[in-house]
C-alpha cells in the first residue's frame, strides 16, 4: 500500500484526485503502477486502477492477470471493479471506502456478484486513515476560496 500511496501523492502534481494503485504479480513484484490522470490527460477512464491494470498487462504480456493483486488507496468504482473482474485478478486490496461511488461493498459489490464469472478475494482497510487523510486534504483545498 505504501507504493500505491506514493502514486496517489504524485497525482497531486497534475491536480488530479490523489488516488494511487499498483498491481503485484504472484511473487509480490510490482508489474503495474497507476495514479489518477483524468485531469492530466483529459481521459475519463484515467483512473489509477485502469492505468495500473493496463501497465500490468503490458508488463506480463497478457490481459489475464491471474494470480495478481490490485492494491488501491480508495475503493474502486464500478468501472474499475469491473476491470479487475475482467482482468481476473486474484485479489483486490484497498484502503478507504468510497461511500459516494464505491463498487466493492459500499454502494455496489461488483467483485463479489455471483452472476459474474470471476470473483477476486477482497481485503479492506489497509492504511485507510492515510488514504482518507490524503483525499480529505485535497478536497479541503479545492473548497477553499
What is residue 13's DSSP assignment? G
Q: Is the dihedral of CA 113, 96, 92, 21 positive or negative?
A: positive
DSSP E strand boundaries for the chain: 20-24, 30-35, 69-74, 91-96, 121-124
Chain centre to alpha carbon of residue 35: 8
**Helix, strand or coil, per DSSP, at residue 67:** coil
Contacts of 103 (CB under 8 A, 6+ apart): 75, 76, 77, 78, 80, 81, 82, 109, 110, 111
* 49 is known as an active-site residue: yes
> Catalytic: which of 49, 55, 66, 130?
49
d(CA 46, CA 44): 6
Residues carrying an active site annotation: 49
Amino acid at each position: 500500500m505504501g507504493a500505491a500511496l506514493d502514486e496517489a501523492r504524485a497525482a497531486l502534481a497534475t491536480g488530479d484526485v490523489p488516488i494511487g494503485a499498483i498491481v503485484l504479480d504472484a511473487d509480490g513484484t510490482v508489474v503495474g503502477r497507476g495514479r489518477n490522470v483524468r485531469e492530466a490527460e483529459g481521459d475519463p477512464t484515467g483512473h489509477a486502477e485502469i492505468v495500473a491494470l493496463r501497465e500490468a498487462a503490458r508488463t506480463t504480456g497478457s490481459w489475464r492477470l491471474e494470480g495478481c493483486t490490485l492494491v488501491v488507496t480508495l475503493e474502486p468504482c464500478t468501472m474499475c471493479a469491473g476491470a479487475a473482474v475482467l482482468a481476473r485478478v486474484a485479489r483486490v486490496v484497498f484502503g478507504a471506502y468510497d461511500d459516494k461511488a464505491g463498487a466493492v461493498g459500499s454502494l455496489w459489490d461488483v467483485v463479489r456478484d455471483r452472476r459474474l464469472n470471476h470473483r477476486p478475494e477482497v481485503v479492506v482497510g489497509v492504511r485507510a486513515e492515510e488514504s482518507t487523510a490524503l483525499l480529505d486534504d485535497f478536497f479541503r483545498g479545492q473548497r477553499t476560496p
